[in-house]
Amino acid sequence: MEKLRRLLRHLWLDADDARHALGNAALDRLEARVRASETGHTGQICLCVEASLPPSYLWRHLARGEALASVIRDRAITLFGKQRVWDTEDNNGVLVYLLLAEHHIEIVADRALARCLAPAAWQDLVTQLATACRDTRFEDALGSAVDRLDSLLRADFPHSGGTGRMGDDELSDCPVLR
């Protein structure tokens, strides 16, 4: 019965539901938060909110028995590539992926940024954000992610003063809705 409910939930939700779950005002606040963050470091933060998994990913879980967490992580990694987060000049881009149908959040960091924290610390960060997701406080979860990543990026990838790439915006600051 749980598989049927999960299937229906994923088939029912679409990008309009993602926009509705956050609302235009929240999307504007999140965009401003990312933009403000990126003035203090050379990193790039990309927020991606997906209403539901595509059928091929859902199939991997429902029919082939793959762990849902693994399937969601793979989807986040795929979107990391599709959004070209991996293509930032300093390899310090980060994708914050929120899957609404499962109230699940993932963070995928590029190579240079991923080395700044141990894998367990990245997982702790995701675990801390998961509570807000489970409580459907999606804007809070995404905002907290931006704030925590901002601290990390400012410490490890600060702007180098008057020269360098300050002000470059390699990725859109607007949350991507799928």
pLDDT tens digits, one per residue of 94-129: 999 999 999 999 999 999 999 998 888 898 899 989
pLDDT tens digits, one per residue of 64-74: 999 999 999 99
The helix (run of H) or strand (run of E) holding residue 45 is strand 44-50
pLDDT of residue 170: 84
| Averaged pLDDT for residues 36-57 | 96
The chain-wide mean pLDDT, for the chain, equals: 93
Place of tokens 């799928």: 178
To the question of pTM greater than 0.85 for the whole model, the response is: yes
Closest CA relative to residue 108, chosen from 6, 98, 100: 98
**pLDDT band for position 161 (cuts 50, 70, 90):** low
**pLDDT band for position 165 (cuts 50, 70, 90):** very low
CA distances (Å), origin 62, targets 6, 7, 9, 52, 171: 9, 8, 13, 14, 34
The helix (run of H) or strand (run of E) holding residue 52 is none
Specify the higher pLDDT residue, 91 or 163: 91
